Amino acid sequence: MTGKGHLLEVRGLKKSFEVKSGFLKRNKNDLKAVNDVSFFIDAGETLGIVGESGCGKSTTGNMIVQLLEPTAGEIYFEGEDITKLKGEALRKKRSDIQIIFQDPYSSLNPRMRVFDLIAEPIRTHQTISKKVLEERVLELMKVVGLNPSYANRYPHEFSGGQRQRIGIARAIALNPKLIVCDEPVSALDVSIQSQILNLLVKLQKELQITYLFIAHGLPVVKHISDRIAVMYLGKIVELTTKENLFKKPMHPYTKGLLAAIPVPDPTQRDLKEHRVLIKGDIPNAVHPPSGCVFHPRCPYATELCAQEEPLFEEKESGHFAACHYPLREDKGIVYLREGNHHGEVHFESKKGDARFN
C-alpha cells in the first residue's frame, strides 16, 4: 500500500484515551480505542466498517474527519498526510471530507431553520451571493428528497428519516470527495432505513462520492459496501470484498458475527441451530487480552493465540486477516445465497462446520 493512487489511506492509526479509576481517580490507564489500524479506500468505492460496541469504528471515522486527533499514525488523503495539516490548509481539506452522524436528533441545532442548517457549511467555506446560496440550498433539499417549501421549518417538525435527510444535505453541500457515514440508519425504523440507504446509493452514483460506512450490523453494511473491514477491540481483524467476506470468512470472529445475525426466514431456523455462537462478552478494552485479542472467545484458540499477536496480512489476493489459523472455505454453512430470495436454497450439509461442533 502506498499513499498514492488511493483516495484515502490510513497507516498505523492509533488513538488512546486516558481512563481514570480507583480511589480519588488515582489509577490512570490507557484505553486503546483504535490500535494500529491500516486500510485504504479508492475513489468511488464504499468501504464498510463493522464491529460491536467499543471496537473503535466510530473513533476511526472521527479521526478521518479530523474531529479527533490521532495518537499515532498517518491519514493520507489524495496523497497528503492530513494529520500534519494546520490552519487554512486544514480548513480547505475539511470541505472535502464530511460526516453524517447516527442520531439525527442530537446532531442538528434545534434553534436553526432547515435552510440555515443546510446553508451553514456553504457559508463557512464559500463566499457566494445570497441568491446563489438560496438556489443551492433549495436544490440540495430536492436532491435529498425534502420538500423545498419546508425550508423555514425547525428540525423538531421533521421525522427521524427526514432529519437524516437534512444531515445528508449538509454533508453533500460542499461537494465532498469522501463522506464518513457513522451509523446513519441505526436510529431509524426499518422502512425508513431502506429509504435512506437507497438515497445514499443514488447520491454516490450521481455525485461520485466515496463512502466510509460505519455500522454495527453486517446486513446494512453489506447492502451498501464494496469492501468490508471487521473491527474487534480496536483492531481490524479482517478486510476483504463483501463477496469474500460472506462466502469465505477467514477470521473466526467474522464467522461468528455472520452466524449471529438473525435470518428473516423461518425455514432456516433448524439450520441455524447448528451454527455456533460466540461465547462470552467483549473484554475490557483497558486491559485487552494478550496475543490475539479475540482468543478468549475463539473456538479454535491455541496457546500460540494467547501468546503471540497475529499479523494483519494479505492471506489471499485482496483478502486481509489477522489470525494464526485462518479458516478455509467450508461447505457446511451457507451465509450467502446467489440470486434472489425466491431462488432455491442449497445446503450441502446440515451438520455445519465440523470444526465448530
Partner 1 sequence: MKEPFIHIKNLRTYFHTEDGTVPAVDDVSLSINKGEILAIVGESGSGKSVTSLSLMRLIDPPGRIESGEILFEGHNLVDYSMKKMRAIRGNKIAMIFQEPLTSLNPVFTVGNQISESIIEHQHKSKKEAKQLTIEMLTKVGIPRPDRVFHSYPHALSGGMRQRVMIAMALSCNPELLIADEPTTALDVTIQAQILHLMKELIIEFETSILLITHDLGVVAEMADRVIVMYGGQIVEETDVFTLFKHPKHPYTKGLLSSTPKVHELKEELVPIPGSVPNPIDYPIGCRFADRCALVMETCRTVHPELIEVKPGHLVRCWLHERKGEGT
Contact residues for partner 1, defined by CB under 8 A: 52-53, 159, 161-162, 189-195, 197-198, 216-220, 222-223, 243, 246, 256-269, 272, 277-279, 281-282, 334-341
- Cα–Cα distance, 99 to 171 (Å, whole number): 6
Pseudo-torsion of CA 287, 292, 296, 302, nearest 10°?
-140
From the number of C-beta atoms within 10 Å of its C-beta (0-12, 13-18, 19+), residue 322 rates as buried
Nearest approach, Cβ of 175 to partner 1 (angstroms)?
26
Residue 229 in contact with residue 236, Cβ under 8 Å?
yes
Q: How far is the CB of 101 from partner 1 (least distance, A)?
A: 19
Q: How many CA atoms lie within 13 A of 306 on its CB side?
A: 7
As measured in angstroms, the least distance from the Cβ of 281 to partner 1 is 5
The distance of closest approach from Cβ of residue 283 to partner 1 in the complex, given in angstroms and rounded to an integer, is: 10
Give me the residues paired with residue 182 across strands: 214
CA distances 41 to 148, 278, 315, 327, 350, Å, are 34, 30, 19, 25, 38
Q: Which is nearer to partner 1, 76 or 294 (CB)?
A: 294
Nearer to partner 1, 3 or 217 (CB): 217
Smallest separation, CB 206 to partner 1 (Å): 18
Contact 237, 39 (CB under 8 A): no
Helix (H) or strand (E) holding 58: helix 57-64
Q: Nearer Cβ to partner 1, position 125 or 272?
A: 272
Q: Which is nearer to partner 1, 24 or 190 (CB)?
A: 190
Residue in 38, 33, 98, 32 with CA at minimum distance from that of residue 74: 38
Residue number with CB closer to partner 1 (14 or 216): 216
Residues 147, 149, 155, 157, CA torsion sign: negative
- Residue 256 C-alpha cell reads as 461468528
Query: What is the smallest separation between the CB atom of 189 and partner 1, expressed in angstroms?
Result: 4
| Inter-CA distances, 93 with 69, 334, 343, Å | 15, 44, 47
Q: How many CA atoms lie within 13 A of 40 on its CB side?
A: 15
Rounded to the nearest whole angstrom, what is the least distance from the CB of residue 242 to partner 1 in the complex?
9
| Cα–Cα distance for residue pair 210/229, rounded to 1 Å | 15
Minimum distance from CB of 329 to partner 1 (Å)? 16
Given the complex with partner 1, which of 117 and 220 has the nearer CB atom?
220
Q: How far apart are CA 136 and CA 198, in angstroms?
A: 22
Task: Pick between residue 53 and residue 129 the one whose CB is nearest to partner 1.
Answer: 53
Cβ nearer to partner 1, comparing 189 with 314: 189
Cβ neighbours of residue 23 closer than 8 Å, sequence gap 6 or more: none
Compute the least distance from the CB of residue 217 to partner 1, in Å. Answer: 6
Report the residue number, 131 or 156, with the smaller CB distance to partner 1: 156
